Amino acid sequence: MRRVLAELAGKPQRRRAQGQLRAQRSGCRSESGSPGLRRLPFALAPAEVMFDGIKILTAPGVVMTPVPTTEALVQWAAEWIGSRSVRVADVGTGSGAVAVALALRAPATGIWATDDSEPAVALARANVARHGLEVRVQVLLGDLLDPVPGELDLVVANLPYHAEARARGPGEGACSDQPAHAIYAPGDGLGYYRDLLEACRTRLNGGGALAIQLYGSVLAAGRGQLDQLAHEIEIRAQAAATVSATLVPRRAAA
Ligand SMILES: C[S@@+](CC[C@H](N)C(=O)[O-])C[C@H]1O[C@@H](n2cnc3c(N)ncnc32)[C@H](O)[C@@H]1O
Protein backbone atom coordinates (compact mmCIF):
# COMPACT_ATOMS: atom_id res chain seq x y z
CA MET A 1 0.00 0.00 0.00
CA ARG A 2 2.98 2.31 -0.12
CA ARG A 3 2.86 2.73 -3.86
CA VAL A 4 2.81 5.99 -5.78
CA LEU A 5 -0.58 7.65 -5.50
CA ALA A 6 -2.99 7.59 -8.38
CA GLU A 7 -5.71 10.18 -8.71
CA LEU A 8 -9.13 8.75 -9.16
CA ALA A 9 -10.74 10.28 -12.22
CA GLY A 10 -13.57 11.99 -10.36
CA LYS A 11 -16.25 10.36 -8.26
CA PRO A 12 -17.49 7.22 -9.96
CA GLN A 13 -20.98 7.39 -11.32
CA ARG A 14 -22.57 4.47 -9.57
CA ARG A 15 -26.20 3.82 -9.45
CA ARG A 16 -27.18 0.24 -9.25
CA ALA A 17 -29.29 -1.15 -12.04
CA GLN A 18 -32.07 -1.67 -9.54
CA GLY A 19 -33.22 -5.20 -9.30
CA GLN A 20 -30.61 -6.45 -11.76
CA LEU A 21 -28.57 -8.45 -9.32
CA ARG A 22 -31.07 -8.71 -6.51
CA ALA A 23 -31.40 -11.85 -4.53
CA GLN A 24 -34.71 -13.44 -5.14
CA ARG A 25 -37.31 -12.34 -2.62
CA SER A 26 -40.26 -14.40 -1.64
CA GLY A 27 -43.22 -14.13 0.68
CA CYS A 28 -43.08 -13.74 4.44
CA ARG A 29 -42.85 -16.58 6.86
CA SER A 30 -42.73 -16.50 10.62
CA GLU A 31 -39.98 -18.55 12.28
CA SER A 32 -40.57 -19.85 15.76
CA GLY A 33 -38.46 -21.96 18.05
CA SER A 34 -35.20 -20.01 17.71
CA PRO A 35 -34.73 -17.30 20.31
CA GLY A 36 -34.69 -13.79 18.91
CA LEU A 37 -35.86 -14.69 15.43
CA ARG A 38 -38.31 -12.22 14.05
CA ARG A 39 -40.59 -12.38 11.11
CA LEU A 40 -38.30 -13.00 8.15
CA PRO A 41 -39.11 -11.90 4.60
CA PHE A 42 -38.21 -15.28 3.13
CA ALA A 43 -38.66 -18.94 3.88
CA LEU A 44 -35.74 -19.66 6.19
CA ALA A 45 -34.44 -23.19 5.96
CA PRO A 46 -32.91 -23.87 9.36
CA ALA A 47 -29.21 -23.67 8.61
CA GLU A 48 -26.19 -22.35 10.41
CA VAL A 49 -22.45 -22.20 10.03
CA MET A 50 -19.56 -21.66 12.38
CA PHE A 51 -17.87 -18.32 11.78
CA ASP A 52 -15.02 -17.07 13.95
CA GLY A 53 -15.99 -19.69 16.54
CA ILE A 54 -19.65 -18.70 16.82
CA LYS A 55 -22.88 -20.03 15.32
CA ILE A 56 -24.43 -17.88 12.61
CA LEU A 57 -27.86 -18.48 11.11
CA THR A 58 -27.80 -18.55 7.31
CA ALA A 59 -30.25 -18.35 4.45
CA PRO A 60 -28.46 -20.14 1.59
CA GLY A 61 -29.13 -18.68 -1.83
CA VAL A 62 -30.86 -15.63 -0.35
CA VAL A 63 -28.18 -14.03 1.84
CA MET A 64 -24.41 -14.52 1.57
CA THR A 65 -23.28 -17.44 3.71
CA PRO A 66 -20.17 -16.25 5.57
CA VAL A 67 -16.90 -17.94 4.58
CA PRO A 68 -13.78 -18.60 6.69
CA THR A 69 -11.65 -16.18 4.64
CA THR A 70 -13.63 -13.28 6.08
CA GLU A 71 -12.55 -14.18 9.61
CA ALA A 72 -9.30 -12.37 8.75
CA LEU A 73 -11.27 -9.12 8.52
CA VAL A 74 -12.69 -9.70 12.01
CA GLN A 75 -9.23 -10.53 13.31
CA TRP A 76 -7.70 -7.38 11.82
CA ALA A 77 -10.50 -5.20 13.19
CA ALA A 78 -10.37 -6.73 16.66
CA GLU A 79 -6.63 -6.10 16.86
CA TRP A 80 -7.03 -2.52 15.64
CA ILE A 81 -9.73 -1.86 18.24
CA GLY A 82 -8.04 -3.55 21.19
CA SER A 83 -9.91 -2.66 24.36
CA ARG A 84 -11.02 0.77 23.15
CA SER A 85 -14.59 2.01 23.05
CA VAL A 86 -15.05 2.90 19.38
CA ARG A 87 -17.79 3.42 16.77
CA VAL A 88 -17.64 0.86 13.97
CA ALA A 89 -19.60 0.34 10.74
CA ASP A 90 -19.85 -3.06 9.03
CA VAL A 91 -20.95 -2.25 5.49
CA GLY A 92 -22.66 -4.97 3.46
CA THR A 93 -23.23 -7.03 6.58
CA GLY A 94 -25.13 -9.91 4.94
CA SER A 95 -25.90 -12.40 7.72
CA GLY A 96 -24.34 -10.01 10.23
CA ALA A 97 -21.47 -12.45 10.83
CA VAL A 98 -18.70 -9.83 10.87
CA ALA A 99 -20.66 -7.42 13.07
CA VAL A 100 -21.64 -10.13 15.56
CA ALA A 101 -18.18 -11.71 15.73
CA LEU A 102 -16.52 -8.32 16.14
CA ALA A 103 -18.97 -7.23 18.83
CA LEU A 104 -18.16 -10.39 20.80
CA ARG A 105 -14.40 -9.92 20.40
CA ALA A 106 -14.47 -6.19 21.20
CA PRO A 107 -17.01 -5.74 24.00
CA ALA A 108 -16.67 -1.94 24.25
CA THR A 109 -17.62 -1.27 20.62
CA GLY A 110 -20.84 0.13 19.20
CA ILE A 111 -21.48 -1.30 15.73
CA TRP A 112 -23.74 -0.09 12.93
CA ALA A 113 -24.25 -2.82 10.32
CA THR A 114 -25.78 -1.90 6.96
CA ASP A 115 -27.06 -3.78 3.95
CA ASP A 116 -29.26 -2.76 1.02
CA SER A 117 -30.91 -6.19 0.91
CA GLU A 118 -34.02 -6.56 3.07
CA PRO A 119 -33.54 -10.32 3.61
CA ALA A 120 -29.95 -9.67 4.72
CA VAL A 121 -31.06 -7.04 7.22
CA ALA A 122 -33.70 -9.40 8.62
CA LEU A 123 -31.21 -12.25 8.95
CA ALA A 124 -28.53 -10.02 10.48
CA ARG A 125 -31.02 -8.75 13.05
CA ALA A 126 -31.91 -12.34 13.90
CA ASN A 127 -28.23 -13.18 14.43
CA VAL A 128 -27.69 -10.06 16.55
CA ALA A 129 -30.67 -11.02 18.71
CA ARG A 130 -29.53 -14.62 18.93
CA HIS A 131 -26.24 -13.46 20.47
CA GLY A 132 -27.93 -10.92 22.75
CA LEU A 133 -26.20 -7.94 21.11
CA GLU A 134 -29.18 -5.66 20.33
CA VAL A 135 -27.88 -2.88 22.58
CA ARG A 136 -24.50 -2.58 20.82
CA VAL A 137 -25.24 -3.68 17.24
CA GLN A 138 -27.77 -1.79 15.12
CA VAL A 139 -28.66 -3.29 11.73
CA LEU A 140 -29.89 -0.75 9.21
CA LEU A 141 -31.25 -1.02 5.67
CA GLY A 142 -29.60 1.26 3.13
CA ASP A 143 -26.75 2.08 0.77
CA LEU A 144 -23.20 1.82 2.15
CA LEU A 145 -22.78 4.32 5.05
CA ASP A 146 -25.93 6.32 4.30
CA PRO A 147 -28.02 4.97 7.23
CA VAL A 148 -25.22 5.31 9.81
CA PRO A 149 -25.30 8.41 12.03
CA GLY A 150 -22.27 10.48 13.03
CA GLU A 151 -18.51 10.08 12.73
CA LEU A 152 -16.89 6.66 12.78
CA ASP A 153 -13.63 5.28 14.12
CA LEU A 154 -13.54 2.17 11.95
CA VAL A 155 -15.31 1.01 8.80
CA VAL A 156 -15.08 -2.65 7.77
CA ALA A 157 -16.58 -4.06 4.60
CA ASN A 158 -16.82 -7.21 2.56
CA LEU A 159 -18.77 -5.89 -0.43
CA PRO A 160 -19.36 -7.41 -3.87
CA TYR A 161 -16.42 -6.73 -6.21
CA HIS A 162 -16.67 -9.25 -9.04
CA ALA A 163 -17.59 -7.65 -12.35
CA GLU A 164 -21.19 -8.26 -13.31
CA ALA A 165 -20.12 -9.61 -16.71
CA ARG A 166 -18.33 -12.45 -14.95
CA ALA A 167 -21.66 -13.76 -13.67
CA ARG A 168 -22.53 -14.60 -17.26
CA GLY A 169 -19.03 -15.66 -18.28
CA PRO A 170 -17.89 -19.14 -19.26
CA GLY A 171 -17.01 -21.44 -16.41
CA GLU A 172 -18.50 -19.22 -13.74
CA GLY A 173 -19.84 -21.36 -10.95
CA ALA A 174 -17.48 -21.00 -8.02
CA CYS A 175 -19.99 -18.76 -6.24
CA SER A 176 -23.15 -20.33 -7.62
CA ASP A 177 -24.48 -21.13 -4.16
CA GLN A 178 -24.30 -17.47 -3.11
CA PRO A 179 -26.88 -14.86 -4.17
CA ALA A 180 -25.70 -12.84 -7.18
CA HIS A 181 -26.31 -9.50 -5.47
CA ALA A 182 -23.81 -10.45 -2.76
CA ILE A 183 -21.03 -11.35 -5.20
CA TYR A 184 -21.32 -9.29 -8.37
CA ALA A 185 -21.37 -5.55 -8.89
CA PRO A 186 -22.04 -3.46 -12.01
CA GLY A 187 -19.27 -2.44 -14.40
CA ASP A 188 -15.80 -3.51 -13.38
CA GLY A 189 -17.18 -4.49 -9.97
CA LEU A 190 -15.27 -1.93 -7.90
CA GLY A 191 -17.87 0.84 -7.77
CA TYR A 192 -19.07 -0.01 -4.28
CA TYR A 193 -15.56 0.06 -2.85
CA ARG A 194 -14.71 3.30 -4.66
CA ASP A 195 -17.84 4.95 -3.29
CA LEU A 196 -17.26 3.61 0.21
CA LEU A 197 -13.71 4.93 0.18
CA GLU A 198 -14.94 8.37 -0.91
CA ALA A 199 -17.55 8.35 1.87
CA CYS A 200 -14.85 7.48 4.41
CA ARG A 201 -13.01 10.73 3.59
CA THR A 202 -15.76 12.59 5.43
CA ARG A 203 -17.24 9.94 7.71
CA LEU A 204 -14.06 8.68 9.42
CA ASN A 205 -12.61 10.76 12.22
CA GLY A 206 -8.95 11.82 12.09
CA GLY A 207 -7.61 8.68 13.74
CA GLY A 208 -10.04 6.36 11.99
CA ALA A 209 -9.42 3.51 9.57
CA LEU A 210 -11.04 1.58 6.74
CA ALA A 211 -10.51 -2.18 6.24
CA ILE A 212 -11.93 -4.10 3.30
CA GLN A 213 -11.87 -7.65 2.03
CA LEU A 214 -10.70 -7.91 -1.59
CA TYR A 215 -9.67 -11.07 -3.45
CA GLY A 216 -9.17 -12.95 -0.20
CA SER A 217 -6.97 -10.28 1.40
CA VAL A 218 -7.62 -7.61 3.98
CA LEU A 219 -6.61 -4.16 2.73
CA ALA A 220 -6.58 -1.46 5.38
CA ALA A 221 -5.64 2.19 5.66
CA GLY A 222 -5.83 4.98 8.19
CA ARG A 223 -7.86 8.10 7.44
CA GLY A 224 -4.72 9.78 6.07
CA GLN A 225 -3.85 6.88 3.74
CA LEU A 226 -7.05 6.58 1.77
CA ASP A 227 -5.38 7.68 -1.48
CA GLN A 228 -2.89 4.83 -1.15
CA LEU A 229 -5.71 2.38 -0.48
CA ALA A 230 -7.62 3.64 -3.52
CA HIS A 231 -4.54 3.04 -5.64
CA GLU A 232 -4.01 -0.42 -4.19
CA ILE A 233 -7.61 -1.40 -4.98
CA GLU A 234 -7.13 -0.40 -8.64
CA ILE A 235 -3.82 -2.31 -8.88
CA ARG A 236 -5.35 -5.48 -7.44
CA ALA A 237 -8.35 -5.22 -9.75
CA GLN A 238 -6.14 -4.82 -12.81
CA ALA A 239 -4.11 -7.86 -11.79
CA ALA A 240 -7.26 -9.92 -11.28
CA ALA A 241 -8.66 -8.80 -14.64
CA THR A 242 -5.44 -9.83 -16.38
CA VAL A 243 -5.53 -13.30 -14.81
CA SER A 244 -9.20 -13.66 -15.65
CA ALA A 245 -8.64 -12.65 -19.29
CA THR A 246 -5.83 -15.19 -19.56
CA LEU A 247 -8.00 -17.98 -18.25
CA VAL A 248 -11.02 -17.28 -20.46
CA PRO A 249 -10.59 -19.34 -23.63
CA ARG A 250 -10.54 -17.47 -26.94
CA ARG A 251 -13.66 -17.77 -29.02
CA ALA A 252 -13.06 -20.04 -31.99
CA ALA A 253 -12.70 -18.25 -35.33
CA ALA A 254 -15.87 -18.34 -37.44
C1 LIG B 1 -19.96 -10.44 -0.24
S2 LIG B 1 -21.47 -10.21 0.70
C3 LIG B 1 -20.73 -10.12 2.33
C4 LIG B 1 -21.69 -10.38 3.46
C5 LIG B 1 -21.00 -10.39 4.84
N6 LIG B 1 -20.32 -9.15 5.10
C7 LIG B 1 -19.99 -11.52 4.91
O8 LIG B 1 -18.79 -11.26 4.89
O9 LIG B 1 -20.42 -12.68 4.97
C10 LIG B 1 -21.85 -8.52 0.29
C11 LIG B 1 -23.06 -7.92 0.96
O12 LIG B 1 -23.12 -6.55 0.57
C13 LIG B 1 -24.46 -6.18 0.34
N14 LIG B 1 -24.47 -5.00 -0.52
C15 LIG B 1 -24.27 -4.94 -1.86
N16 LIG B 1 -24.30 -3.66 -2.28
C17 LIG B 1 -24.52 -2.89 -1.17
C18 LIG B 1 -24.65 -1.49 -0.96
N19 LIG B 1 -24.54 -0.60 -1.98
N20 LIG B 1 -24.88 -1.04 0.30
C21 LIG B 1 -24.99 -1.92 1.33
N22 LIG B 1 -24.85 -3.27 1.18
C23 LIG B 1 -24.62 -3.75 -0.06
C24 LIG B 1 -25.10 -7.42 -0.25
O25 LIG B 1 -26.50 -7.43 -0.09
C26 LIG B 1 -24.40 -8.52 0.56
O27 LIG B 1 -25.14 -8.87 1.69
Question: DSSP characters for 82-150?
Answer: TT---EEEEES-TTSHHHHHHHHH-TT-EEEEEES-HHHHHHHHHHHHHTT-TTTEEEEESSTTTT--S
**Minimum-distance ligand 1 atom for the alpha carbon of 65:** 9
Interval between CA 117 and ligand 1 midpoint (Å): 8
Element (H, E) at 129: helix 118-130
**Residue 22: per-residue pLDDT:** 37
Ligand 1 atom nearest to 195, measured from its CA: 19
pLDDT of residue 37: 54
Say if ligand 1 is within 6 A of residue 160 CB.
yes
Q: Is 144 in the pocket of ligand 1 (CB under 6 A)?
A: yes
Cβ atoms within 10 Å of 54's Cβ, excluding its own: 16
Choose which residue among 63, 156, 159 to substitute to test ligand 1 binding: the one with the highest number of ligand atoms within 8 A of its C-beta. 159
Burial class (CB in 10 A: 0-12, 13-18, 19+), 207: exposed
Determine the atom of ligand 1 nearest the C-alpha atom of 114: 21
Ligand 1 atom at minimal distance to the Cα of residue 157: 6
The protein residue whose alpha carbon is closest to atom 12 in ligand 1 is: 92
Distance CA 51, CA 236 (A): 26
Would you give per-residue pLDDT tens digits along the chain (254 residues)? 333 222 222 222 333 433 333 333 322 333 344 544 555 666 666 699 999 999 999 999 999 999 999 999 999 999 999 999 999 999 999 999 999 999 999 999 999 999 999 999 999 999 999 999 999 999 999 999 999 999 999 999 999 999 887 665 655 555 668 899 999 998 889 999 999 999 999 999 999 999 999 999 999 999 999 999 999 999 988 887 776 656 555 554 44
Query: What would the CATH number be for the domain defined by 12-253?
Result: 3.40.50.150
3-state class of 21 per DSSP?
coil
First to last CA, the chain: 45
Taken in order 35, 143, 225, 6, is the CA torsion positive or negative?
Answer: positive
* Distance from the alpha carbon of residue 21 to the mean position of ligand 1, in angstroms: 12
Quote the ligand 1 centre to 135 CA distance (angstroms).
22
